[in-house]
Amino acid sequence: MNACGLIVEYNPFHNGHLYHARQAKKITNADVLIAVMSGSFLQRGEPAIVDKYHRTKMALNSGIDLVIELPYGYAVQSSNLFAFGSVQSLHQLGVEQLCFGSESGDIQSFLNHYHMLQENKAQYQHTLKEYLTQGLPFPVANKKALEKIIPANTIDFSKPNNILGFSYIRQILEQELDIQACTIKRIKNDYHDTEITNSITSATSIRTKIIDQKENINKIKETMPFQSTKQLQSYYNKTKTWHHWELYFPYLQYKIGTMTPEELVTIEGIDEGIEYRIKKFTKKAVTFYDLMQKIKTKRYTWTRLQRMFLHILTNTKKEEMKSIKESRSIPYIRLLGMNKNGQLFLNQKKSNLSIPIVSSYQREMHPLLKIEERASYTYYSIIPPQIRRHLFKQEIQGPIILND
Protein backbone atom coordinates (compact mmCIF):
# COMPACT_ATOMS: atom_id res chain seq x y z
CA MET A 1 0.00 0.00 0.00
CA ASN A 2 1.19 3.44 -0.89
CA ALA A 3 1.12 5.44 2.34
CA CYS A 4 1.44 9.17 2.89
CA GLY A 5 2.32 10.58 6.29
CA LEU A 6 1.04 13.83 7.79
CA ILE A 7 2.40 15.51 10.94
CA VAL A 8 -0.47 17.16 12.78
CA GLU A 9 -2.01 18.57 15.95
CA TYR A 10 -5.68 18.80 14.79
CA ASN A 11 -6.56 21.28 17.48
CA PRO A 12 -9.30 20.98 16.27
CA PHE A 13 -9.53 19.33 12.83
CA HIS A 14 -10.86 22.04 10.48
CA ASN A 15 -11.43 22.70 6.77
CA GLY A 16 -7.78 23.62 6.24
CA HIS A 17 -6.78 20.20 7.55
CA LEU A 18 -9.40 18.55 5.35
CA TYR A 19 -8.00 20.37 2.32
CA HIS A 20 -4.46 19.34 3.26
CA ALA A 21 -5.41 15.68 3.72
CA ARG A 22 -7.25 15.51 0.40
CA GLN A 23 -4.51 17.29 -1.52
CA ALA A 24 -1.82 15.10 0.05
CA LYS A 25 -3.67 11.95 -0.95
CA LYS A 26 -4.16 13.26 -4.50
CA ILE A 27 -0.59 14.47 -5.06
CA THR A 28 1.09 11.39 -3.62
CA ASN A 29 -1.47 9.00 -5.05
CA ALA A 30 -1.62 7.36 -1.63
CA ASP A 31 -3.88 4.44 -0.66
CA VAL A 32 -3.64 5.30 3.00
CA LEU A 33 -3.12 8.45 5.08
CA ILE A 34 -1.14 8.14 8.31
CA ALA A 35 -1.22 11.00 10.81
CA VAL A 36 1.35 11.47 13.58
CA MET A 37 -0.60 13.60 16.05
CA SER A 38 0.47 15.38 19.25
CA GLY A 39 -1.45 14.02 22.23
CA SER A 40 -2.58 16.01 25.27
CA PHE A 41 -0.24 18.97 24.87
CA LEU A 42 0.99 20.83 21.82
CA GLN A 43 4.19 22.24 20.43
CA ARG A 44 3.48 25.79 21.55
CA GLY A 45 3.28 24.55 25.13
CA GLU A 46 -0.50 24.49 25.41
CA PRO A 47 -3.16 21.91 26.27
CA ALA A 48 -5.19 20.66 23.30
CA ILE A 49 -8.73 22.03 23.42
CA VAL A 50 -10.21 18.52 23.65
CA ASP A 51 -8.49 15.23 24.32
CA LYS A 52 -6.50 13.16 21.82
CA TYR A 53 -9.24 10.53 21.43
CA HIS A 54 -11.90 12.99 20.35
CA ARG A 55 -9.38 14.61 17.99
CA THR A 56 -8.51 11.15 16.65
CA LYS A 57 -12.18 10.52 15.90
CA MET A 58 -12.35 13.83 14.03
CA ALA A 59 -9.42 12.71 11.88
CA LEU A 60 -10.70 9.19 11.24
CA ASN A 61 -14.05 10.59 10.18
CA SER A 62 -12.43 12.99 7.72
CA GLY A 63 -10.19 10.80 5.65
CA ILE A 64 -7.28 9.86 7.88
CA ASP A 65 -6.82 6.08 8.06
CA LEU A 66 -4.42 5.68 10.96
CA VAL A 67 -3.52 8.03 13.83
CA ILE A 68 -0.45 7.47 15.99
CA GLU A 69 0.65 9.55 18.95
CA LEU A 70 3.63 11.86 18.84
CA PRO A 71 4.91 11.34 22.41
CA TYR A 72 4.86 14.34 24.78
CA GLY A 73 8.67 14.07 24.99
CA TYR A 74 8.88 15.13 21.33
CA ALA A 75 5.61 17.03 20.90
CA VAL A 76 6.30 19.75 23.48
CA GLN A 77 9.74 20.67 22.19
CA SER A 78 11.31 23.05 19.71
CA SER A 79 11.22 22.17 16.01
CA ASN A 80 14.24 19.87 15.80
CA LEU A 81 13.16 17.37 18.42
CA PHE A 82 9.53 17.70 17.34
CA ALA A 83 10.59 16.85 13.79
CA PHE A 84 12.84 14.02 14.94
CA GLY A 85 9.98 12.29 16.75
CA SER A 86 7.46 12.82 13.96
CA VAL A 87 9.65 11.81 11.04
CA GLN A 88 11.02 8.83 12.95
CA SER A 89 7.49 7.67 13.75
CA LEU A 90 6.60 7.62 10.06
CA HIS A 91 9.87 5.96 9.15
CA GLN A 92 9.51 3.24 11.79
CA LEU A 93 6.01 2.50 10.49
CA GLY A 94 7.40 2.09 7.00
CA VAL A 95 5.76 5.22 5.59
CA GLU A 96 7.79 6.47 2.65
CA GLN A 97 6.10 9.76 1.86
CA LEU A 98 5.54 12.88 3.92
CA CYS A 99 3.39 15.80 2.86
CA PHE A 100 3.45 18.98 4.92
CA GLY A 101 1.85 22.39 4.62
CA SER A 102 3.97 25.48 3.98
CA GLU A 103 3.57 29.07 2.88
CA SER A 104 5.33 28.63 -0.44
CA GLY A 105 4.26 25.14 -1.42
CA ASP A 106 7.66 24.71 -3.08
CA ILE A 107 9.58 21.66 -1.87
CA GLN A 108 12.65 22.58 -3.93
CA SER A 109 13.26 25.74 -1.91
CA PHE A 110 13.33 23.65 1.30
CA LEU A 111 15.81 21.22 -0.26
CA ASN A 112 17.97 24.08 -1.58
CA HIS A 113 18.02 25.65 1.85
CA TYR A 114 19.14 22.43 3.38
CA HIS A 115 22.02 22.04 0.95
CA MET A 116 23.13 25.65 1.31
CA LEU A 117 23.05 25.17 5.06
CA GLN A 118 25.17 22.03 4.77
CA GLU A 119 27.76 23.87 2.70
CA ASN A 120 27.95 26.74 5.17
CA LYS A 121 27.43 24.81 8.38
CA ALA A 122 30.42 26.24 10.24
CA GLN A 123 29.49 29.83 9.39
CA TYR A 124 25.85 29.19 10.29
CA GLN A 125 26.71 27.72 13.67
CA HIS A 126 29.14 30.50 14.43
CA THR A 127 26.59 33.22 13.58
CA LEU A 128 23.82 31.44 15.44
CA LYS A 129 25.96 31.22 18.56
CA GLU A 130 26.81 34.91 18.27
CA TYR A 131 23.15 35.92 18.11
CA LEU A 132 22.25 33.64 21.01
CA THR A 133 25.05 35.16 23.07
CA GLN A 134 23.51 38.57 22.33
CA GLY A 135 20.41 37.29 24.10
CA LEU A 136 18.17 36.74 21.07
CA PRO A 137 15.60 33.96 21.43
CA PHE A 138 16.39 30.85 19.37
CA PRO A 139 13.77 31.32 16.60
CA VAL A 140 14.98 34.88 15.92
CA ALA A 141 18.68 33.99 16.14
CA ASN A 142 18.09 31.01 13.85
CA LYS A 143 16.21 33.12 11.28
CA LYS A 144 18.93 35.78 11.24
CA ALA A 145 21.73 33.19 11.01
CA LEU A 146 20.01 31.44 8.11
CA GLU A 147 19.49 34.73 6.27
CA LYS A 148 23.21 35.42 6.49
CA ILE A 149 24.18 32.31 4.56
CA ILE A 150 21.14 32.26 2.25
CA PRO A 151 20.77 35.84 0.98
CA ALA A 152 18.11 35.01 -1.61
CA ASN A 153 15.87 33.82 1.17
CA THR A 154 12.71 32.31 -0.24
CA ILE A 155 11.52 30.73 2.97
CA ASP A 156 10.16 33.01 5.65
CA PHE A 157 11.46 31.54 8.89
CA SER A 158 9.16 33.64 11.02
CA LYS A 159 6.32 31.29 9.98
CA PRO A 160 6.01 28.28 12.32
CA ASN A 161 4.98 25.98 9.46
CA ASN A 162 8.09 26.83 7.47
CA ILE A 163 10.34 26.25 10.45
CA LEU A 164 8.73 22.85 11.03
CA GLY A 165 8.81 21.94 7.33
CA PHE A 166 12.48 22.74 7.15
CA SER A 167 13.12 20.65 10.27
CA TYR A 168 11.37 17.65 8.67
CA ILE A 169 13.58 17.95 5.58
CA ARG A 170 16.64 18.25 7.73
CA GLN A 171 15.79 15.14 9.75
CA ILE A 172 15.04 13.11 6.62
CA LEU A 173 18.25 14.11 4.85
CA GLU A 174 20.56 14.04 7.84
CA GLN A 175 19.39 10.59 8.88
CA GLU A 176 19.20 9.49 5.25
CA LEU A 177 15.68 8.15 5.74
CA ASP A 178 13.81 6.55 2.89
CA ILE A 179 11.09 9.23 2.91
CA GLN A 180 10.01 11.35 -0.03
CA ALA A 181 8.78 14.77 1.12
CA CYS A 182 6.33 17.06 -0.66
CA THR A 183 4.62 20.25 0.45
CA ILE A 184 1.25 21.83 -0.14
CA LYS A 185 0.76 25.58 -0.21
CA ARG A 186 -1.41 26.57 2.73
CA ILE A 187 -4.40 28.64 1.77
CA LYS A 188 -6.13 31.48 3.57
CA ASN A 189 -5.48 32.81 7.00
CA ASP A 190 -2.24 32.95 8.86
CA TYR A 191 -1.54 30.60 11.76
CA HIS A 192 -1.72 33.41 14.28
CA ASP A 193 -4.93 35.06 13.00
CA THR A 194 -7.71 35.29 15.51
CA GLU A 195 -10.59 36.52 13.33
CA ILE A 196 -12.81 34.07 11.52
CA THR A 197 -13.22 35.42 8.03
CA ASN A 198 -13.60 32.42 5.84
CA SER A 199 -14.54 28.78 5.76
CA ILE A 200 -10.85 27.94 5.94
CA THR A 201 -9.65 29.52 9.12
CA SER A 202 -6.69 29.14 11.43
CA ALA A 203 -6.97 26.78 14.36
CA THR A 204 -6.00 29.63 16.71
CA SER A 205 -9.01 31.74 15.73
CA ILE A 206 -11.31 28.74 15.99
CA ARG A 207 -10.08 27.93 19.50
CA THR A 208 -10.49 31.53 20.61
CA LYS A 209 -14.11 31.49 19.43
CA ILE A 210 -14.83 28.15 21.07
CA ILE A 211 -13.38 29.13 24.45
CA ASP A 212 -15.14 32.52 24.39
CA GLN A 213 -18.50 31.06 23.49
CA LYS A 214 -18.53 28.25 26.05
CA GLU A 215 -21.04 25.61 25.02
CA ASN A 216 -22.35 27.45 21.92
CA ILE A 217 -20.09 26.49 19.04
CA ASN A 218 -22.43 27.49 16.21
CA LYS A 219 -20.11 30.29 15.17
CA ILE A 220 -17.37 27.91 14.10
CA LYS A 221 -19.54 25.28 12.42
CA GLU A 222 -18.71 26.65 8.98
CA THR A 223 -14.99 26.29 9.50
CA MET A 224 -14.80 22.53 10.00
CA PRO A 225 -16.30 19.20 8.93
CA PHE A 226 -19.50 18.19 10.70
CA GLN A 227 -17.66 15.38 12.51
CA SER A 228 -15.34 17.89 14.16
CA THR A 229 -18.23 19.90 15.58
CA LYS A 230 -19.82 16.66 16.70
CA GLN A 231 -16.70 15.48 18.54
CA LEU A 232 -16.14 18.90 20.10
CA GLN A 233 -19.73 18.91 21.31
CA SER A 234 -19.46 15.35 22.56
CA TYR A 235 -16.36 16.17 24.62
CA TYR A 236 -17.96 19.30 26.04
CA ASN A 237 -21.13 17.46 26.97
CA LYS A 238 -19.10 14.95 28.98
CA THR A 239 -16.74 17.38 30.65
CA LYS A 240 -18.15 20.93 30.42
CA THR A 241 -14.60 21.87 29.62
CA TRP A 242 -12.58 23.40 26.81
CA HIS A 243 -8.99 22.89 27.89
CA HIS A 244 -6.87 26.00 28.05
CA TRP A 245 -4.04 27.25 30.23
CA GLU A 246 -6.11 29.30 32.69
CA LEU A 247 -7.77 26.13 33.96
CA TYR A 248 -4.38 24.68 34.89
CA PHE A 249 -3.18 27.86 36.58
CA PRO A 250 -4.22 26.83 40.13
CA TYR A 251 -2.18 23.61 39.79
CA LEU A 252 0.78 25.47 38.29
CA GLN A 253 0.72 28.06 41.05
CA TYR A 254 0.41 25.42 43.74
CA LYS A 255 3.17 23.30 42.18
CA ILE A 256 5.71 26.09 41.73
CA GLY A 257 4.97 27.47 45.20
CA THR A 258 5.81 24.13 46.81
CA MET A 259 8.94 23.40 44.75
CA THR A 260 12.39 24.45 45.91
CA PRO A 261 14.50 26.51 43.46
CA GLU A 262 16.86 23.52 43.26
CA GLU A 263 14.01 21.26 42.19
CA LEU A 264 12.86 23.73 39.54
CA VAL A 265 16.26 23.55 37.86
CA THR A 266 15.93 19.76 37.45
CA ILE A 267 12.90 20.32 35.18
CA GLU A 268 13.26 20.03 31.40
CA GLY A 269 13.77 23.36 29.66
CA ILE A 270 14.56 25.37 32.82
CA ASP A 271 17.95 27.08 32.63
CA GLU A 272 19.74 27.81 35.86
CA GLY A 273 19.06 31.43 36.78
CA ILE A 274 15.37 31.66 35.90
CA GLU A 275 14.15 29.60 38.90
CA TYR A 276 13.83 32.57 41.28
CA ARG A 277 12.14 34.65 38.59
CA ILE A 278 9.62 31.86 38.07
CA LYS A 279 8.91 31.57 41.79
CA LYS A 280 8.64 35.31 42.27
CA PHE A 281 6.23 36.04 39.42
CA THR A 282 4.13 32.95 39.99
CA LYS A 283 3.50 34.07 43.54
CA LYS A 284 2.40 37.50 42.34
CA ALA A 285 0.27 36.52 39.35
CA VAL A 286 -3.51 36.29 39.54
CA THR A 287 -4.10 34.57 36.18
CA PHE A 288 -1.97 32.58 33.75
CA TYR A 289 -2.10 35.46 31.28
CA ASP A 290 -0.97 37.83 34.02
CA LEU A 291 1.94 35.50 34.82
CA MET A 292 3.01 35.33 31.16
CA GLN A 293 2.86 39.10 30.76
CA LYS A 294 4.94 39.59 33.89
CA ILE A 295 7.58 36.97 33.21
CA LYS A 296 8.24 37.06 29.47
CA THR A 297 11.39 38.72 28.11
CA LYS A 298 13.09 38.90 24.73
CA ARG A 299 15.09 35.82 25.66
CA TYR A 300 12.27 33.90 27.32
CA THR A 301 9.57 33.91 24.67
CA TRP A 302 5.92 33.06 25.23
CA THR A 303 6.26 29.61 23.66
CA ARG A 304 9.43 28.75 25.53
CA LEU A 305 7.89 29.76 28.87
CA GLN A 306 4.68 27.83 28.17
CA ARG A 307 6.75 24.73 27.47
CA MET A 308 8.66 25.23 30.75
CA PHE A 309 5.40 25.55 32.64
CA LEU A 310 4.05 22.38 31.04
CA HIS A 311 7.20 20.49 31.99
CA ILE A 312 6.76 21.72 35.56
CA LEU A 313 3.13 20.58 35.59
CA THR A 314 3.92 17.18 34.12
CA ASN A 315 7.03 16.81 36.28
CA THR A 316 9.26 16.14 33.25
CA LYS A 317 12.91 16.05 34.28
CA LYS A 318 16.03 16.93 32.29
CA GLU A 319 17.44 13.60 33.47
CA GLU A 320 14.55 11.65 31.92
CA MET A 321 14.80 13.55 28.64
CA LYS A 322 18.57 13.13 28.35
CA SER A 323 18.59 9.56 27.04
CA ILE A 324 15.54 10.27 24.87
CA LYS A 325 17.37 13.17 23.24
CA GLU A 326 20.53 11.13 22.76
CA SER A 327 18.79 8.16 21.17
CA ARG A 328 19.01 7.74 17.37
CA SER A 329 15.58 6.13 17.22
CA ILE A 330 12.18 6.36 18.89
CA PRO A 331 11.39 3.62 21.43
CA TYR A 332 7.81 2.65 20.43
CA ILE A 333 4.76 3.48 18.33
CA ARG A 334 1.52 4.21 20.12
CA LEU A 335 -1.71 3.77 18.17
CA LEU A 336 -4.55 6.18 18.83
CA GLY A 337 -7.03 4.98 16.22
CA MET A 338 -7.64 3.56 12.76
CA ASN A 339 -10.26 2.55 10.23
CA LYS A 340 -10.35 -0.68 8.19
CA ASN A 341 -7.91 0.74 5.67
CA GLY A 342 -5.50 1.75 8.42
CA GLN A 343 -5.78 -1.71 9.96
CA LEU A 344 -4.96 -3.29 6.60
CA PHE A 345 -1.85 -1.14 6.29
CA LEU A 346 -0.80 -1.95 9.84
CA ASN A 347 -1.24 -5.70 9.29
CA GLN A 348 1.02 -5.50 6.24
CA LYS A 349 3.75 -3.69 8.17
CA LYS A 350 3.43 -5.32 11.59
CA SER A 351 5.85 -8.19 11.10
CA ASN A 352 8.63 -5.93 9.86
CA LEU A 353 8.59 -3.35 12.63
CA SER A 354 11.78 -3.00 14.63
CA ILE A 355 10.14 -1.25 17.58
CA PRO A 356 7.10 -2.34 19.62
CA ILE A 357 3.57 -1.07 19.18
CA VAL A 358 2.12 -0.08 22.55
CA SER A 359 -1.25 1.15 23.63
CA SER A 360 -1.64 0.85 27.40
CA TYR A 361 0.57 1.81 30.35
CA GLN A 362 2.41 -0.74 32.49
CA ARG A 363 4.41 -0.52 35.68
CA GLU A 364 7.66 -1.23 33.85
CA MET A 365 7.79 0.90 30.73
CA HIS A 366 10.02 3.18 28.70
CA PRO A 367 10.67 6.60 30.31
CA LEU A 368 8.99 8.26 27.31
CA LEU A 369 5.78 6.37 28.02
CA LYS A 370 6.04 7.15 31.74
CA ILE A 371 6.17 10.84 30.84
CA GLU A 372 3.17 10.29 28.57
CA GLU A 373 1.15 8.78 31.40
CA ARG A 374 1.92 11.76 33.66
CA ALA A 375 1.06 14.18 30.84
CA SER A 376 -2.32 12.51 30.31
CA TYR A 377 -2.94 12.51 34.04
CA THR A 378 -2.11 16.21 34.16
CA TYR A 379 -4.30 16.92 31.15
CA TYR A 380 -7.38 15.38 32.75
CA SER A 381 -6.63 16.70 36.24
CA ILE A 382 -8.97 19.70 35.77
CA ILE A 383 -11.96 17.39 35.20
CA PRO A 384 -14.05 16.15 38.19
CA PRO A 385 -12.83 12.72 39.44
CA GLN A 386 -15.78 10.59 38.24
CA ILE A 387 -15.63 11.88 34.67
CA ARG A 388 -11.84 11.99 34.71
CA ARG A 389 -11.60 8.28 35.53
CA HIS A 390 -13.92 7.52 32.65
CA LEU A 391 -11.83 9.60 30.22
CA PHE A 392 -8.52 8.24 31.48
CA LYS A 393 -9.79 4.72 30.70
CA GLN A 394 -9.40 5.57 27.02
CA GLU A 395 -5.65 5.70 27.69
CA ILE A 396 -5.53 2.05 28.61
CA GLN A 397 -8.21 0.59 26.36
CA GLY A 398 -6.14 0.58 23.20
CA PRO A 399 -6.82 2.38 19.92
CA ILE A 400 -10.16 3.52 18.56
CA ILE A 401 -11.33 1.25 15.73
CA LEU A 402 -13.68 2.88 13.24
CA ASN A 403 -15.79 0.35 11.39
CA ASP A 404 -17.48 1.74 8.32
Check whether 15 is labelled as a binding-site residue. yes
Check whether 11 is labelled as a binding-site residue. yes
**Distance (Å, rounded) from C-alpha 143 to C-alpha 301?**
15
**Distance (Å, rounded) from C-alpha 74 to C-alpha 43?**
9
Give the β-pairing of 32-38 and 3-8: parallel
Q: Does 277 bind its own copies (CB under 8 A)?
A: no
Q: Show contacts with its own copies in window 158-187 (CB under 8 A).
A: none
Name which of 190 and 263 has its Cβ closer to its own copies. 263
Check whether 336 is labelled as a binding-site residue. no
Q: Which of 308, 364, 357 is nearest to 330 (CA)?
A: 357
Query: Which residues, in sequence order, are bridge partners of residue 358?
Result: 334
Which residues are CB-contacts of 403 (< 8 A; sequence separation ≥ 6)?
339, 340
Stretch that binds its own copies, among 85-93, 100-108, 164-172, 249-257 (CB under 8 A): 249-257
CB 166 within 8 A of CB 2: no
Stretch that binds its own copies, among 96-104, 299-307, 347-355, 380-388 (CB under 8 A): 380-388
Check whether 337 is labelled as a binding-site residue. no
Q: Does 258 bind its own copies (CB under 8 A)?
A: yes
Name which of 72 and 100 has its Cβ closer to its own copies. 72
Q: Is 12 exposed, middle or buried (0-12, 13-18, 19+ CB in 10 A)?
A: buried
**Distance (Å, rounded) from C-alpha 381 to C-alpha 272?**
29
**Distance (Å, rounded) from C-alpha 264 to C-alpha 275?**
6
Distant-in-sequence contacts of 386-393, Cβ < 8 A, 24+ apart: 387/238, 387/239, 390/238, 391/51, 391/238, 391/239
Q: Does 253 bind its own copies (CB under 8 A)?
A: yes
Q: How far is the CB of 378 from its own copies (least distance, A)?
A: 6
First to last CA, the chain: 19
Check whether 66 is labelled as a binding-site residue. no
Q: How far is the CB of 242 from its own copies (least distance, A)?
A: 19
How many positions of this chain bind its own copies (CB under 8 A)? 29
| Among 287, 293, 297, 397, contact with its own copies (rule: CB under 8 A) | 287
Check whether 16 is labelled as a binding-site residue. yes
Stretch that binds its own copies, among 105-113, 229-237, 330-338, 386-394 (CB under 8 A): 386-394
Q: Does 378 bind its own copies (CB under 8 A)?
A: yes
Residues that bind its own copies (CB under 8 A): 250-251, 253-255, 257-260, 263, 276, 283-287, 313-315, 363, 370, 374, 377-378, 381, 385-386, 389, 392
From the annotation, which residues make up the binding site for ATP? 7-20, 101, 161, 186-187
